[in-house]
Structures are given as C-alpha cells and as structure tokens.
Amino acid sequence: MTVAVDEKARWRVALADETGGECVAVDDDVFHGFAAVRKVPEGSGFRFLVVGARREFWPTGMSSQMGGGIDLWARYLCGLRNILRSLKVVLSRDRGYRYIFAPAPASKVCSAEAQCAYREQWADKFRPK
C-alpha cells in the first residue's frame, strides 16, 4: 500500500497485490481514499485488519482537514460508552485518537459499506426528528 499527496493537496491511496493488480483512490483524506480502495478486495472476502476498517472509527473534521484523516476517533451508538471514553481521555495521557493503519483484531473490522452504514446510523442520532 502506498499513500501520497498530489499537487492539488489530495490524498492518493494505492493497493497492489502479488499479481501486479492495483486499486487506486484519490480523495480529500486518507480515510476516505482507503475506504474507496478497500471495496474491490473486500468484494472477494478480504478484510483489512487495521483500525481504519473498524466500524466505529473515522476522522474528526479537524483531523481530516489538518492531518489528512490519518488519526481516527471512536464513536459509539451507546451514549454511556461515549461518555466513558471521553472521561478516560480527560483523565489519562491517552489522547483518544488511533492511527488508521494500526493493527485491529479480526473480530472488530468490517467492510467499508458496513462502516458507512454505521456512521449514518450514528449521525441519525443527532439529526432533528
């Protein structure tokens, strides 16, 4: 996998396999480029065992704009989990963000489509009814 910034300050994420095949995506941040490029291998059942493939992790707006979406923040559907996580961040030296390509257990990762659906479900909690 390669990650690079082009002349227009857009992020290019490329995946290559052992047969020489390559999937490339260009987006405003690494997270969305990675999500786009994941769809082809995931269609064959491949899973990426990294934090960027966990359903509850995605970049904050500031992380995306200023850091290219490389640092991700967890968001949970359960309000209590969000409160406890924020409390842990405040009371410890843990800044709360996780690197997009840090390892993640197989039981915690999902497809890019499932991750997008979870994000929409999470965002629906804050939309006016």
Q: What is the pLDDT of residues 66-91, one digit of tens each?
A: 888 888 877 766 666 666 766 666 67
Note the pLDDT of residue 51: 93
In this structure, are residues 102 and 50 in contact, taking their beta carbons and an 8 Å threshold?
Answer: yes
pTM of the model: 0.81
Note the pLDDT of residue 17: 82
Vertex 118 angle, CA 97 and 101, to 5°: 35
User: Among candidates 33, 21, 27, which has minimal Cα distance to 8?
Assistant: 27
Q: What is the pLDDT of residues 7-53, one digit of tens each?
A: 677 898 998 888 888 889 999 999 999 999 999 899 989 999 999 99
